[in-house]
Structure 1
Amino acid sequence: MNRSSKRFDQDLSECVETMRDGSKSFFAASRVLPSRVRDPATALYAFCRITDDIADAADATEQSIITLQKRLDAIYLGQPIDEAADRALAEVVRAFDIPKELPLALIEGYTWDTQYRTYETFDELLDYCARVAGTVGAMMCLIMGKRESETVARACELGLAMQLTNIARDVGEDAMNGRIYLPIEWMREEGLEPKEWLANPQFNEAISRVVARLLKEADKLYTQAEIGIGDLPWDCRPAIAAARLIYAEIGREVERLNLDSVSVRAVVSKQRKLVLLTHATSAIIAKFSIRRFNPEAHPSIQFLIEAVNKTPHIRHYGGTIHERLTWVVDLLERVEERKRDAEMTVADRFIQPLR
């Protein structure tokens, strides 16, 4: 193993810890991914988690976003700053031909957060969700080796659904931070004046109906996104199905709390996650394996699909085709080494008492 490979493994270990602490739903689902996908996906999510925390901080400013953009520029130049997540992502975007437009759109979504932007209509809210979550779906699709427009569209829609679920779950937490992500139009239809409600956020029947409406839209997108799971590599389907089931279950937990996401925060228990992981890795996958009609992509994610389409699969940021293939082969070799190490560890535990 060369020095670059060792460094990537070290950086990846730090990324794993970031995800273990900060994104439990992703961490649970990612354990089912094959290692060749899990490693780069972990690097991607760690960078997203860290940059999201920076942008979401109470003291985040325009300068915070400029700093993130500079970090991304350095990543795509192959000269990342001295941070594990940045170094790991630089390897990933080069190896999997991830167009820069995708993480740039993600950072644009962060910019909207720092501006405390509100969204008058549901379609405007989806424009935001496309940036902070649809982008991640598209990048995950590329890491899994799929670039077809229909598959990318379904991956983006899964991101939209997940973000809508997050918004429905975090109404109270967002309000405490001075933010409203619920469609303003929907609130007014229920007799709620957004500014007045934000000054004194209370749970009531009106806000519960808005949350219920948002979860209903999320469920439509989850159903539509399922169509693309069968197009993914067979060994990636369980993890994506698990992510879909675990995030949708957050919505069910909100419903069990009588749609009160203002005074309490819905959490899916570890036991329930294990049950859903089991479902995702067994009979339920048969449903996702059936090819069905692919609906037209929502306008909010069309620009993400176009960014993938216009990026040739063999395009590199400071690297040759040979370098890219070498990186991928090296990654697979490291995966095998870790498997052998794990098998030896298990064998040692079994043999030790016999000695």
Structure 2
Amino acid sequence: MHPFSPKYSFATAADHAHCAAAIRVGSRSFHAASLLLPPRVRKPAYGLYAFCRLSDDAVDLDGGSLDAVARLRARLALAYEGRPQHAPADRAMADVMRDYAIPLAAPEALLEGLAWDAEGRRYETFDDLQAYAMRVAGAVGVMMTLMMGVRDSATLARACDLGVAMQLTNIARDVGEDARAGRLYLPLAWLLEAQIDPDAFLAAPVATPAVKAVVARLLDEADLLYARARRGVAHLPKSCRPAILAAALLYAEIGRTLGRRHAFDSISHRARVNGGAKVALLGKAVALSPWLSRGAPAPALDCAAFLVDAVAREPVRGAPAQAAGFVLQFVRTLEMFERLERAERFGE
């Protein structure tokens, strides 16, 4: 355990530049949305992304080895203890976990999902697939929410919804690419209902009407979760809402593009959102974010409970008991100063 000290940082300016470069290269959609985040959240978000990217790449480059996952778990444990390895992403992750009281269970869940990838695991039911998506994407949504200073269970549940929805969109978009690499994420029960033999499909992936119907069904499930997730965006600090809404709109648009332009054929096409559409969606996110409805509360997905509970159990290490509230108050205070600064500069 290291002392809680907002003045001390493991990561250097060069480390942060390295992390920012990783997101620019690795995810154009997430990078575009991240530009709407206030700088105080954007910098740790880049550090989180860099560690997630490092983890994903480490497993891929090692041929999907479980040994690679074990090494990543060891690095993560060191970062959590305040003894990060000598690497930009590790140092940035150590800062993020300390400063925002992120429970070890959240990034460990991500690594568990990567281990499932390394095992070549397939998913019998849609619930099984959601459990996977919760680990590789829902956990990231939880960590992002904590970095915005929000820790209540209802908002974390909606962050999990958004992470799962985005991962389902990724899976729908990449069916052909995954199949050619020998990977299959579509629920086996759905394939059997559609009279699709999973092994025959992997041997010769073709966008038959039955396959496209399964892809469309997966995107329908994602859309239901995007709608639920919007309620959580309304609970975030106002300065953070445009970025998170933008991420949701951009990923949902991938699904719509897949349906509208490619008739749900993700075997021979990879749906992309062009630059003009991205700019329009960013503008839409800025315009809509102040008017989002919190709506009626909805229960968390069953597969999200372990993450939401882990946050509730995590103390702000080395800080007074009221530190979690201090983080939220600190965010709100910064927002107030930003408004005052704008008023001085622009006469608002």
Fold agreement, TM-score > 0.5: yes
Where structure 1 has 5 or more consecutive residues not aligned to the other structure, the ranges are 337-355
Deviations 1:125-178 (A, max 9, x none): 001001001100000010000000000000011000000000000001111111
Match of 1:24 among 22, 28, 35: 28
Match of residue 104 from structure 1: 108
Deviations 1:276-300 (A, max 9, x none): 0000011x12431x22111111101
Deviations 1:231-278 (A, max 9, x none): 000000000010000000000111121101011111111111110000
CA distance in 1, matches of 2:59, 2:134: 17
Match of 1:287 among 267, 285, 291: 291
Which stretch has the larger CA shift, 55-64 or 73-82?
Answer: 55-64
8 Å contact from structure 1 (residues 130, 159) kept in 2: yes
Match of residue 268 from structure 2: 263
After TM superposition, list the pairs within 5 Å mapping 1:80-91 onto structure 2: 80-91=84-95
8 Å contact from structure 2 (residues 245, 289) kept in 1: yes
| C-alpha spacing 1:129/1:151, structure 2 compared with 1 (3 Å) | same
Report the count of equivalent residues.
Answer: 326
Match of residue 300 from structure 1: 303
Match of 1:245 among 229, 249, 259: 249
8 Å contact from structure 2 (residues 10, 91) kept in 1: no
8 Å contact from structure 2 (residues 10, 92) kept in 1: no
Match of residue 59 from structure 1: 63
After TM superposition, list the pairs within 5 Å mapping 1:1-355 onto structure 2: 7-57=11-61, 59-255=63-259, 256-282=261-287, 284-288=288-292, 290-312=293-315, 314-316=316-318
Residue identity matched to 2:238: W
Give the alignment's TM-score, normalised by structure 1: 0.87
Q: Secondary structure at the match of 1:281?
A: helix
8 Å contact from structure 2 (residues 62, 68) kept in 1: no
Residue identity matched to 1:300: C
Q: Secondary structure at the match of 1:163?
A: helix
Where structure 2 has 5 or more consecutive residues not aligned to the other structure, the ranges are 1-5, 338-348
Give the alignment's TM-score, normalised by structure 2: 0.88
Residue identity matched to 1:293: A
Q: Secondary structure at the match of 2:12?
A: helix
- Structure 1 residue 57, shift from structure 2 partner: 3.8
CA distance in 2, matches of 1:277, 1:180: 32
| C-alpha spacing 1:57/1:211, structure 2 compared with 1 (3 Å) | farther
- Structure 1 residue 193, shift from structure 2 partner: 0.5
8 Å contact from structure 2 (residues 238, 290) kept in 1: no
CA distance in 2, matches of 1:4, 1:156: 30
CA distance in 1, matches of 2:133, 2:124: 14
Residue identity matched to 1:261: S
8 Å contact from structure 1 (residues 56, 110) kept in 2: no
